[in-house]
Every structure is written in C-alpha cells, then in structure tokens.
Amino acid sequence: MSLLGSRAVFTPTLLACYAITAAVHIASIVLNTLLPLHVADLGGTKTQVGLLFSVMTVVSMFLRPTVGGWVDRFGARPVIAPGIAALALTTLALQLAATPVTIIVLMIGLGVANGLISTPASVLTALSSPAAHRGEALGTYYLASSLGVAIGPPLAFGLRAVGGMRLAFAMVTVMAVLLVLVVARLPSGAARPAASARAPRLISRSALPVSFALVLSTIGHSSVFAFLPLYALGRGETAALAWFFAIYPAWLITWRALLRGVSDRLGHFRVGLFAMSVVAVAYLIIALPPTPLSLALAALVLASGNALLYPTLAALVVDRAPESERGLALGTLSGAWDLGVVIGSTLIGAVADRYSYAAGFAVGGAFAAMGVGALALGIRRGAAVARYVGSPNSDVIRADAASADMSASLGRRS
C-alpha cells in the first residue's frame, strides 16, 4: 500500500465526505476557540463559559443516534441539508448576540448543526467504502477532522486580530455556503437510504457493547484539556505543558496518516482493543508529577491510542450491525463518545476538587482499563449469542471472536 493509501478510499463520494468533516471541524474549532473569549468580554462568568460546551455536547449526544437512524431511512443528503442551514442561521444570529445568555442559547443551534452534518458524513463514509478498506476510509475521514483541529486555532486568532468576532462569524457562515456546494455535488447514488430500513429505534443494540466500552474509555478525555493545564501550571511546569500541546496534535495527525489501514489488515477488534489499552496507559502517565519528559511521553502515548481508537471502533460497529441500521449503529457510537465526555467532565472535576488532579487522571485511566475489559467481554459474548441464535452477522462476529480467542491464547502463552 502506498503512503497515500488505497485508491478505494479516494472515490468522489469519499472525497466529498473528507471535505465535509474538514470544513465542519475548522468552523467548529474557530468558534470553540473564540467564543469563551467573546463571552468573557461580554462580562460572562466562568460557569457561563463552561455552559457553552456543555450545552452543545449534550444536544449532540442526544441527537446523534436519531440522526444515524434518519440516514438509514432517508439517506445522508436530506439530513445534512438542515444541519448546514442550522450552522448558517446560528452564525448569523451570533453576529447580533449581545449577552452571554444569548450566546449559550445559540449553542443549541451549533449542537444541532454538528449532529446533523458530522454524523451523516461519517455514516456515508462507512457505507461508501469497501469492507476490506473500511478502517482505512474511516481513518482518512478522521484524519481530515484532525487537520481541521490543527488549522482551526491559528485561523481563529488570525481572524480575531484582523476583523474581530464579526469576521470570525462571517467566515463560518461562508464555510456553511461552501458545504452546500460540496453536498450538492455528491454523486446521485451516494446518499440513498437503506433498502430495508426498519422502524425507527432510539439506539442500535448491535452497537451497545462497543459503545459502552467507548463511554468508559472517554471518561478521562475532557480532563486532559480542562485540567492538565491547571495541573502543570500549578507545579510550575509551563515548559512541560508546552511540550505536551505541541507534540500531541502533531503525533495524532502523523500516526493517523501512517496507520489508517492497519485495522483492516490486523482486525478491527484486535486493533481497537490495543488502542484502548494504550489510552488507559496514557492517562496513568499523565497522573505522574508533570515534567517535560513525562508529558512529552504522555502526549506520544495518548496520541498513538486516540489516532486509532475511534476510527477502528467505528469500523467494528459497522461490521457488526445489520445493513438496515448501520447509520443508527454509528450514531449510537458517536453519542457514546459525547456521553463519556459529559460524565467525565463532571466526575474527574469532582475527584480533582476532593483529592488532586493526579487522582482525577488516575480515575480516567482506571475507567479506560475497564473499557478494555468491557470491549473484550462484549465482543466475545456477542459472538456466543450469534453462534446460538444464528445471527445474520454471525460470520463477522465469529471473526471478531476468533481474534479475541487468539489474543487470549497468546496472553496465556506469555
């Protein structure tokens, strides 16, 4: 395989999906970077700044599984279009918002936009890629998202320096217009609904084992960005903090680019289990007293795990889901990520308040370790049930079980 990857992951439909996620993430990161400063300039409190992200995340969390089901029933394009409209209208309204409370309310619109655009694009990526290259396609999709994360902050501060918040909001509105052009050019057969979509469901049962494991693994995710700066600065380690936030995004993008197709070759279950284990180790390293060496190592380990984790689990969920509810399955997994972040931001904060930041990071690592066990047990139990009842996805699940059995056998030998 070439450095760029297989040609199978660069079809017109998949290229459009990569463009959509890059644009949405650039727009979102620009807003997420500048809105806390804007709210503070308007006299907002720290609690109101925190509510900015809580409101948007909670809206997305509840919306994503439903949106995935809508993609199964109606196709991707009819679901993405209202999301683009929500993004454009919300950014136009932000031009007029004059109080912190108004901005917090408008975050509902950004949460709706994010759910209606990102979830269908990820579902379309999974459904439009060959099964043999699904992990690589999803890895490329989330690589495009990561590039948005890298571009967003410097772009945000540049726009603010040149034209203030009005220019930044206008740029996001322009991004929404560009999204209309990208979605309009999707190939005619790219966004059709599933041929035999079932009656609407709130969540996908087939995705629950993997989703539950992901919730446990992401309990500590928000603590890295919310509490690590406070932890390091409180110990006088400004340089160590700088090393972490320089290395983490660079290695995340590099590792994701190099290893996009590894789960297709080694097995989605096996690679997902490995990635989740690496994330657990990273949280425990972060819990150590911060030094330039420890935080540089933590950045490398955490980025290595996160580069593989979500794309691999998304491919695993699609493999295990009935064809008629693959969108719902991916929506369930995506909502699980948000749920873990929401729970973790409260739980880790409470632990840090009562004990220490180090204890909070250790709790995040402990939950991630439990996620490893939950993933292994969930896949093996699902395989046993499939063998008993003759599931239509039993061939895929048996393959997952074989991978799990092999891993357990290797563990016993060692």
Average pLDDT, the chain: 85
Of residues 187, 234, 154, 210, the one with CA closest to residue 334: 210
Alpha carbon distances (Å) from 245 to 88, 173, 223: 31, 29, 14
How far apart are the C-alpha atoms of 233 and 187, rounded to whole Å? 51
Same domain, yes or no: 371 and 400: yes
State which of 163, 186, 209 marks the end of a domain.
186
Same domain, yes or no: 215 and 271: yes
Same domain, yes or no: 167 and 209: no
pLDDT tens digits, residue range 15-29? 999 999 999 999 998
Contact criterion met (CB below 8 Å) for 128 and 108? no
Residue 191 lies in a domain: no
Could you write out the DSSP letters of every residue in 199-214?
Answer: S--SS-GGGHHHHHHH
Look at 86-90, 147-151, 241-245 and tell me which has the smallest mean pLDDT: 147-151
What does pTM read for this prediction?
Answer: 0.80
pLDDT tens digits, residue range 275-314? 999 999 999 999 999 999 999 999 999 999 999 999 999 9
Same domain, yes or no: 37 and 9: yes
Q: Give the model's confidence band at 3: pLDDT under 50 very low, under 70 low, under 90 confident, else very high.
A: low
pLDDT at 392: 44
Residue 229 lies in a domain: yes
Same domain, yes or no: 146 and 221: no
pLDDT tens digits, residue range 77-104? 889 999 999 999 999 999 999 899 999 9
Alpha carbon distances (Å) from 107 to 210, 332, 387: 29, 22, 46
How far apart are the C-alpha atoms of 256 and 161, rounded to whole Å? 32
- Give 77's contacts (C-beta < 8 A, 6+ positions apart): 120, 183, 186, 190, 191
pLDDT at 86: 95
Q: What is the domain range of residue 266?
A: 201-414
Contact criterion met (CB below 8 Å) for 276 and 213? yes
- Token pair of 149, please? 């994360």
Q: Give the model's confidence band at 36: pLDDT under 50 very low, under 70 low, under 90 confident, else very high.
A: confident
- Give 272's contacts (C-beta < 8 A, 6+ positions apart): 210, 263, 308, 309, 312, 313, 316, 375
- Token pair of 156, please? 């945000």
CATH of the domain at 268: 1.20.1250.20
Half-sphere exposure of 129 (CA within 13 A, CB side): 34
Residue 107 lies in a domain: yes
Same domain, yes or no: 205 and 140: no
What is the count of structural domains for the chain?
2
pLDDT at 408: 39
The predicted model gives 232-253 an average pLDDT of: 88
Same domain, yes or no: 287 and 146: no
pLDDT at 107: 92
